Structure 1
Amino acid sequence: MNDSASGPTNLATDSANVAVQAEAIHGPVNVYQVAAAVSAEETFQAGLNSLRAGMAQEARKHIRDAVVLRNYVNGHSCFYLLLALLSGRTLQQVPRDEIAMLRCVRGAVKDDDEWTDAIKLVDRLLTSRPQEGGVVGLEQEFQKLTDEQRNDILQHMEMFLDSSAEDALWARAFDAARTDRCANDRLRRAWKFFQPDPIGARALPTDPVVIGLGVRTAITATTTLAVATVGYIGAMAWQYDGTVALSALLTLATACYVSLRSGVEWRYKKQRWHAKDRAYLLRPATTTRGDGFASKIDHQFEHYFARYTPRGADRAQWLAETVGVRRALRDEVVTIYRESTVNAKSVAWLIRYMVADVARRWQADTLWDFRKKLRVPFLLKVLCVLTSITAIAAGAFLVWAGAHVEILLVSLAAVPALASVWSAARLWLRIAAEYRRYSADEAERDRILAGRRAAFDRWKKKLADRPDDLEMARWLECDRKALMEEAMTLYRLKRQDVLAHAFIEAPATPSYSRARVEDGPWRYSKYKILLFLLTTDGVRQLTQQLDFQKATTRSRARTNYRYDAFTSVQVAETDSGENVFELTLTNGDPIKVKVTDPPSDITETEDKDPQGASQLTLGTAGLGNALHVLEGVAAEGKKWIAFERQREKLPLAEVSRAVNALFT
């Protein structure tokens, strides 16, 4: 967000540390959550959402609960129960007890059900083999389905599109991925998913006016004594000459009032000037160490002050001249938001607004305008001095007039009168200036808070169309399909040339953002995607860096190796909580990829189940199928492919019988 009309540049200094830019947990959003009292249909919908988000294990649990345990049985639910059982794994990975679930709802689908054709096509894909006319037949069946059914089959039956008869379906899947990859305004909206929910606008509370008991006692005593002594002197002067005494008293009272008023304004302006100078110019530029809230606020201010350098300005000069302002704003943010539940990234919107406002005023040469506003006018000083002299002269005249009546007592009263008037004036000046300061602080706070609330509202409005997790999952699925198409084109392979394939999705280090919805997996702004293609000649590995927010890829790396080059495959959890995939070959260094991040201080305070989120992310990253395929190759070499086909015959027959039982 840039609220500066001066248009700051988007640059960072050489020392900027950007690492993980945002970490957000959105919720509750009720996409994957199932409350205890919800209906079977709502449970099924939560399972369907989980399936489309790539969380097949969660989907199987919810859909099984709705269909088998709560009797939500129809063609729609049976179709997605079947897809959930098969999604992201081979037939060898489908447990027999899960296949048995289909038998629990035998006869549930009628021939005229709108989901009948979709279920039968799933069975056809499982049992299809290369044959003449197979492509035409599948295409015709596929055309009968709705867009929703087609998209879900192409996504979750990917592991079973492995015969020449399915080449046309892969071509259709690639076409759909190209169409949907930037659908729903992805390039404008995707980055918003990684923005944490902003916390509301705040401002430092105004320091109250504090008048201690000692001051109250002193001002009461001095004011009382001043009134008494001046009154006595005035009474004596009245006896000498009433008209002259009245004129002197009125002059004294008026001069004291005007002098006090002008003195209050003088004192207020001077003190406020010095206070702002101390805040903006003389503050020590110390930096907080560690990874706590204050340290993260430090890093944000350093980053945005470097990034929002005004156009045409020398960055070194800009940073040097605003070091005090930066420190004052940093201290304010730390003070008003330093709570155990506040994510430092939740106030990034405010820091951007503050920095952009400073940049705008600095470029307009109004950053130090407070000096002009608080400069004490020369006429105000003259007025204060002249009225003070007038008050002294009027008091002296009263003493002179009263001395003509009672010289000794009036002379004795003049000393405490002068001392009490002087002390009372100083105390009233101090108190009045403090109330003037409080009034100015309140007005300034109201103005600052209004500006921040407006910035907060603009930021909330900007995030209003933030994509949901299902959209993020669909876009990522399109990216995977695009990478698959690119790899097949690069290696000049047809679909029947690929005997098996596997994906691994991991965050692209070192700089990325991550976010998740409650009960959902982590999504990353940048991915490192590994694609393994098993062909008759060996393994083709394609690795690419994906900028998810821009839907672009870079840094493509190709690796080819024989089946007998595998030594071991594993996923290990490090001491810090990271999950690392490691593929060891007979020659060369191991291929290591960090698949999930360790829990951070943010997830520990905001996340109810950080370990569960890590497991969900592992599931959506494709590790289950990748390990099944690569471990099989590591153990059995090229023969694994033939053995796998042989091992699939029994579960294939069981699944096919269970599917056909749905119609009997």
Structure 2
Amino acid sequence: MPDTKQTEGSQTTNTATDNANVGAQIGNVEGDAVFHKHETIYQVAEDASAEKKFRVARSFIDGGIPRQAEDLIRQAISAGYVTTEVSYYYALSVLSERSLNRLGADELDKLQHATRVAEHLPHDQWWAAIVVIGGLVQCAVHPASAPSKDALRVVLDAFQALGKERQAEITRHLDMIFDGAMQEELDRLNAATIPAQRAKGERSERAWKYFHPDPTAPRRATPTPLRNGEPRTTAWLVTTTGIAGLGLFVALGVRTAGVGFLILFLVGVLITGRFGAQVLTPYLRRRMKEAEHGRNPAEFDEYEELGVELNPTQKFAHTVWKRIHFYFAVRRPVTNKYEWNMKTKGFQAALHWRLVRLYSNRRVAVPTLNWLIRWHAKQIAEQWRDESLPDFRRTLRPRASTILSLTGSAVVAASVAGLLVSSSTAQGFGPTVTSILQVVAACFAGAGIAYLFADRRAMTQEQEALDEFFADEQREYLRWQERLRDRPTDLEMANWLESDKHYLKTLAMRRCELSSREIIAHVVLTAGKPRAMRARVVNGPPRFSRYVVLVFLLTQHGVREVDVDLNFLTGAIYDERRTAFKYDALASARVLEKGFHSAEGQQHVVLLGRDVHLTEKSALVISRTFELALVNDQKIEVVVDNYEGLIDDSATEDRNKLDELALDSSGVAIALHILEAVAAEGREWITREQDRRDRRWREWERGGRDSTALGGRPWPPRIGPAVNSSEKGNMP
């Protein structure tokens, strides 16, 4: 898509290609979904200790989930777990992801309580950080005119005296309340650290690992008997009948003249059977492989197109087949696509059959088999390039010497059989018939025994080949496990994303030639790109391998919007697009929800993508879309992830909290609060919002609160009476 064009008038023009909507064309993500259900950094029991709740709350804060952190720390303090560190992180959790416009009396009460609780504790590094937070809030929201340069300088000097880690935390979590001179100074102080934060921890070498699940261990396969063992059963029947008949006819027809020929014939039959088994073994193996390579794993594609509901085994088989087809397409060497597909479709079908047999009944998630499918596709591609692609139709053939030996032994045995029958004719019709029946019974028994030996040899050789496969797979499994050993945590992923958002906000200001003093408010929205890889941990937000990031900069004269594509795995930014519009051009901001609510037990047919599902859920959110509409019918849309494929039935998660988390982590909740007011009030939003902010502050002070307890002048903050035990247990 080309860059959008900007105008300074109320009319905003924008261009898009291929019948796309103007703005951010963001659709449902169709890539891999990985759920790390064994990661427990965001899990805490209701009856957990206060200290445990605080430690999990720390993870929530670092993971960019402040509302859950706020609630857990409140519980910890109410239970009597009070330290300066706890108070500091409680203040951070209250302020994080909240703009100045969302700081009301409740939030200010919580901040004051955090300060009062910590005031009589040792004045350590955490207390110093609390003082800085209070000073920054005071400078941002005090109803008087903008803080003097000297007062701001005092706060910033105290900020610089903190450790680098505290500085980074305060910058990240108070970003929404900074504006004007304060933001400009902090940007200057942090200018050198943001690029380093984006790349730290070997991001480009490790970020991709987050989107790969723990691999499922390979399983030793066993060969499938030809036609499910029917020929083997027949061979046993033929062998038993032949041996029984031979014994009967020998007992009835032994004559002195024919005993020698009969013994020679039976020896000839055994030798012929031995060579016959050797000739038959590769034939049986070839037939077994033809059965595997000749399967049609794509049969369920038609069911999907017709909307037929598949059972769990069929769904597994269909998903595995699509994954095999994808990886073989990715690994295709530089060659003709049709030729590659024709030459490898048998290998794909055989791999599919083996995986379905081994894993379909073990509740294995298909993404955990990606490593195995990818490895097999790589092996086939390498063999293709080396011109060593296995051709069982050529290699599984008997040797010429074995065929010659079989022919010779068969001729000798037939000759002896003729002599046996001839020697019996002189003794009459009865002995002749008995000799013929002896020959027939011996041939039946010999053929059956030859097949049974050939079948056993074929199964043994196939098992040896599969065991070699298993040994190779086991080595690759161990190698892949080692590669994923330093997979980043969700906290690292959150820090990288926050650094990206801060950097992109700075980049947008530079592109629009705006300074921090000109920015009244800003909003950063993130959404996964179509077909991006997705992953999350229990109680955590979705993370994406590729994002669309939208930055809204609100100034005195209107809104500037910059959106870019972000390759999260490397931090690379590309395809920048820009839009500008005045406040009166904004028609509405809303969240559209698709789903249903119904009585318990009522069934619904739900279409998700191309999959048809029957559900009895009383409520289901299929999708949420943030929509920003302009008066000229242009729209900017962001689709919020609905966790499809990212929820495991074995994990006890609150779906309502997850839906709220998706809105918060994408930035939609903040954007809706700000842009909805802008759409309703136009340019007057600027002065009205300032008036509302001043009024809230005055009302809070008139309610008996002490604004200096938030870090206001005098410096350091003047704190009220000492906290007592009852105050600890009554959190605002």
Normalising by the smaller structure, the TM-score range is 0.7 to 0.9
Mark the CA change 1:589 to 1:63 in structure 2 (over 3 Å): closer, same or farther.
same
Pair 1:160–1:214, CA change in 2 (3 A): closer
The structure 1 residue matched to 2:369, chosen from 347, 352, 376, is: 347
Give the CA deviation at 1:425.
Answer: 1.2
CA distance in 2, matches of 1:445, 1:360: 19
1:141-160 matches, cutoff 5 A: 141-160=158-177
Separation (CA, whole Å) in 1 of partners of 2:591 and 2:629 = 12
Query: Which AA in structure 1 matches 2:641?
Result: D
Q: Is the 8 Å Cα contact of residues 514 and 524 (structure 1) preserved in structure 2?
A: yes
Distance 1:19 1:398, change over 3 A: same
Aligned to 1:15: none
Q: Which amino acid aligns with 2:635?
A: P
**1:597 pairs with 611, 620, 641, which one?**
641
| Aligned counterparts, 1:441-456, within 5 A | 441-456=462-477
Give the deviation of 1:46 after TM superposition: 0.9
Q: Secondary structure at the match of 2:479?
A: helix
Match of residue 351 from structure 2: 329
- Matched to 1:121, the amino acid is V
**Gap runs ≥5 in structure 1:** 1-17, 239-244
One-letter amino acid of the structure 2 residue matched with residue 138 of structure 1: V
Counterpart position of 1:358: 380
Aligned positions of 1:578-657 closer than 5 A = 578-594=623-639, 596-600=640-644, 603=647, 609=653, 612-649=657-694, 650-651=696-697, 653=701, 654=705, 656=707
The match for 2:555 is 535
Hey, what does 1:297 align to over in structure 2?
A: 320
Amino acid at match of 1:432: F
1:119 aligns with 2:130: yes
Name which of 257, 270, 279 aligns with 1:266: 279
Superposition RMSD in Å = 3.1
What is the correspondence of 1:175-574 to structure 2 with a 5 Å cutoff? 175-202=192-219, 204-207=221-224, 216=236, 219-227=239-247, 229-230=249-250, 236-237=256-257, 251-277=264-290, 279-280=292-293, 288-289=301-302, 290=304, 292-311=315-334, 313-339=335-361, 341-395=363-417, 410-508=431-529, 510-574=530-594
Aligned ranges for residues 43-122 of structure 1 at < 5 Å? 43-68=53-78, 70-94=79-103, 96-97=105-106, 99-101=108-110, 106-109=116-119, 110=121, 112-122=123-133
Superimposed CA distance per residue, residues 339-366 of structure 1 (whole angstroms, 9 cap, x where no aligned partner): 5844333322222122222222223333
RCO (CA 8 Å, sep 6+): is it higher in 1 or 2?
2
Shift of the 218–377 alpha-carbon distance from structure 1 to 2, 3 Å rule, reads closer
The alpha carbon displacement at 1:384 in A equals 1.5
DSSP 3-state at the match of 1:288: helix
Change in 2 beyond 3 A, CA 1:217/1:451: same
Is the 1:633–1:640 contact (alpha carbons within 8 Å) kept by the matching residues of 2? yes
TM-score by length of 2: 0.79
Unaligned runs of 5+ in 2: 1-27, 140-145, 306-314, 596-620, 711-716, 723-732
CA contact (8 A) 1:566 1:584 kept: yes
What is aligned with 1:6? none
Deviates more, 1:346-355 or 1:113-122: 346-355
1: CA distance between counterparts of 2:629 and 2:41?
Answer: 39
Matched residue SS, 1:637: helix
Q: Identity of counterpart residues, as a percentage?
A: 28
Match of 2:188 in 1: 171
Q: Please give the secondary structure, in 2, of the residue aligned with 1:512.
A: coil
Deviation at 1:212, TM superposition (A): 7.8
**CA 214–631 in structure 1, closer or farther in 2 if over 3 Å, else same:** closer
SS of structure 2 residue aligned to 1:153: helix
Give the TM-score normalised by the residue count of structure 1: 0.87
Deviation, 1:587, is 3.0
SS in 2 for 1:115: helix
User: Are the counterparts in 1 of residues 242 and 441 from structure 2 also a CA contact under 8 Å?
Assistant: yes
Q: Secondary structure at the match of 1:21?
A: coil
Q: Is contact 1:52-1:474 (8 Å) kept?
A: yes
Deviates more, 1:73-82 or 1:291-300: 291-300
Closer, same or farther in 2 for the Cα pair 1:389/1:445, shift >3 Å? same
* 1:58-104 Cα shifts (integer Å, max 9, x gaps): 11111111122x21100000001011111111354345445444566
The whole-number CA distance in structure 2 between the counterparts of 1:593 and 1:217 is 69
Q: Distance in 1 between matches of 2:572 and 2:88?
A: 34
Q: Give the CA deviation at 1:166.
A: 4.4
Deviation per CA, 1:448-481, whole angstroms, max 9, x where unpaired? 2222222222222222221111111111111111
How many residues are paired up? 635
Q: For 1:300 and 1:255, locate their aligned partners in 2 and report how far apart those are by CA, in whole Å.
A: 53
TM-aligned CA distance change 1:134 to 1:81, over 3 Å: same
User: In the alignment, is the contact (CA less than 8 A) between 2:209 and 2:488 conserved in 1?
Assistant: yes
Range that drifts further, 151-160 or 634-643 = 634-643
Q: 1:138 pairs with 136, 146, 155, which one? A: 155
The offset of 1:376, in angstroms, is 1.6
Change in 2 beyond 3 A, CA 1:471/1:323: same
Deviates more, 1:135-144 or 1:215-224: 215-224
Deviation at 1:528, TM superposition (A): 1.6
Given that 2:587 and 2:631 are in contact with CA atoms closer than 8 Å, whether structure 1 keeps it comes out as: yes
Q: State the Cα deviation string for residues 8-63 of structure 1 (Å, max 9, x = none).
A: xxxxxxxxxx9723111112211111024532222111111111211111111111
Q: Secondary structure of the residue that 2:42 maps to in structure 1?
A: coil
